Amino acid sequence: MEYGIVVHGPSCDANGAAVLAYQYQVPWSVRQTSVQLGGLPPINTFLSWSGDCLALSAFKFSEETGDIIARWFNYSQEEQKLGITCDFAQSAYLGNILEERRVPLAIDDGHLDVTVSASEIITIAIPKNS
pLDDT at 75: 86
Does domain 44-126 correspond to CATH entry 2.60.40.2220? Answer: yes
- pLDDT per position in the chain (130 positions), as tens? 677 787 777 666 655 777 777 777 777 778 888 887 777 666 667 889 999 889 898 999 999 999 999 999 998 889 999 999 998 889 999 999 999 999 999 999 989 999 999 999 999 999 987 5
pLDDT at 95: 95
Domain ranges of the chain: 1-30, 44-126
pLDDT at 42: 64
User: pTM for the full model?
Assistant: 0.74
SS3 letters across the chain: CCCCCCCCCCCCCHHHHHHHHHHCCCCCCCCCCCCCCCCCCCCCCCCEEECCCEEEEEEEECCCCCCEEEEEEECCCCCEEEEEECCCCCCEEEECCCCCEEEEECCECCEEEEEECCCCEEEEEECCCC
pLDDT at 37: 79
